[in-house]
Each structure stands twice: as C-alpha cells, then as structure tokens.
Structure 1
Amino acid sequence: MSLFIFLTVIQAIVAAALVTVVLMQRSEGGGLGIGGSPGGLMSARGAADFLTRATSILATLFVILSIALAALAVENTGARTVDTSLDRSVPTGPAAPVQPGPTEAPADDDPLAGAAQE
C-alpha cells in the first residue's frame, strides 16, 4: 500500500510539472516569449525546443504512472468475493397464509389484567 501512495504522490508532482510546462508555452509555439540571441538555450527557438521536449517526457511519465497505479489498484482489490447476504430475489411459489396463534389468558397475579376486564 505504501508503494501505491508513493506513486500517487509522484504522479501529482509530475502532473503539476506538466501543467506548468504546458502553460509556459505560447500558443504559436514561441515558448516563454523571451527574446535574445537566436543561438542561445533560452532564445525563443531554444525555449520552444526545451518546453516541447519537457512536455513529451512529462506526458510519457504521467501515462506510465497512470498504468502502474491502475495495475496496483486492480491487484489490491481483485480478490474480493461477491456478498450475497442481501439477496432480494422473489420466491417463486405463493406464500403460506399466517395462522394467528392461540391467545393466552392473563395471569391471576397481573394487576393490569383485572383492570382490563372491568
């Protein structure tokens, strides 16, 4: 169970990083919108290449972690049996009529019995 929790925390971190990297990209593909020398790492072109590569790596990690967590969840919960104690099936035959039982006479030492007869 601790592996499941560990992988869930790692997936949350990867998801937050993926959202951050995607939001830093420009919709036109410029990436960060930082100007500078065209050959540098953080130029518009270099930032776009870095963010595109980071997005693909984080997306791949996210999918792999999702598959691993799904496999762990199935392994932990797959051995249960079906509980049939709440079976609500209708009986096929008619139900037998309920016969009223014999009424008992009140005991002589019961003080309420005498008051009920008066």
Structure 2
Amino acid sequence: MENVILLVHLLLALALIGVVLLQRSEGGGLGMGGGGGNVSTGRSGTTALGKLTWVLGLSIFATTLTLTVIAAQNAGGSSVLDRITDDRPAAEESSPGLDDSGDGLLPPSAGDDAPLTPTAD
C-alpha cells in the first residue's frame, strides 16, 4: 500500500512540475507582474492550468500526509535509540589468515630457502 501511494505521489509531483512549466510567465516577482484580468482588483482570471495546479498541489499535500501516517504506524513506537545496546562486540586480537609473528606481510629475505619464482614439476 505504501509503495502505491509513493508511486502516486511521484506521478503527482511530475505532473505538477509539468503544469507549472506550461503556465505563462507574468514577469516580476512575488505577484508584482500583471496582465489581463480584472483591472480594479489587480488579479488575473483563473485559468484551467491555475486550477489544475491547485488540485495537484493539494493532492501532493494529501499523499504526503498519508505517507507520514503510514510511516508512523510502521514505526511501532520504537526509536532508533531504543535499538542501541551497550554491549559492543569485542574486537579480535589478530586478523585471521595472518601470521602471529608479524612477518607475514614482509617480503622474503635473500637468505630464505623458498624460491622466488614458481618451479614446474
């Protein structure tokens, strides 16, 4: 259920982006632009794209609230801090696969009996 609502939320967001980009720019910031419409109030008439923007915006708001409620129910009243314990795993003294002498990482010295190149038998 949560995935379906999340998918709808994503599609609504993409549709809102598209609708906003389709609208005509009025110039000026913070509603200071203008254009046709009612001269006495300074507000332009509502267009179909404007109404669709409001519907999509309110729909995104509703899906956001729904997803928040679902996430709160799935949390089950537990916190991340509740899952932290004081028992920490003990660190291993030596790494597996290495010599305890510490010479395992050093190159062989010239006096070693082991050949440096593999021999074919």
Equivalent pairs: percent with the same residue? Answer: 30
Q: Going by fraction, where is helix more abundant, 1 or 2?
A: 1
Q: Is 1:64 the counterpart of 2:62 in the alignment? A: yes
Q: How many residues align?
A: 70
- After TM superposition, which residue ranges in structure 1, 4 or more long, deviate above 4 angstroms? none
Counterpart CA distance in 1 for 2:25 and 2:61 is 23
Q: Which runs of 5+ in 1 are unaligned?
A: 30-44, 89-118
Q: How far does residue 84 in structure 1 lie from its aligned partner after superposition?
A: 4.8
Q: Which has the higher contact order (CA 8 A, sep 6+)?
A: 2
Q: TM-score, normalised by structure 2?
A: 0.51
Counterpart CA distance in 2 for 1:23 and 1:68 is 27
Q: CA RMSD in A?
A: 2.5
Counterpart CA distance in 2 for 1:10 and 1:23 is 20
Q: Which runs of 5+ in 2 are unaligned?
A: 28-43, 89-121
Output the amino acid matched with 1:62: I
- Encode CA deviations 1:52-89: one digit per residue, 9 max, x unaligned: 0100000000000000000100110133261352269x
- The structure with the largest alpha-carbon Rg is 1
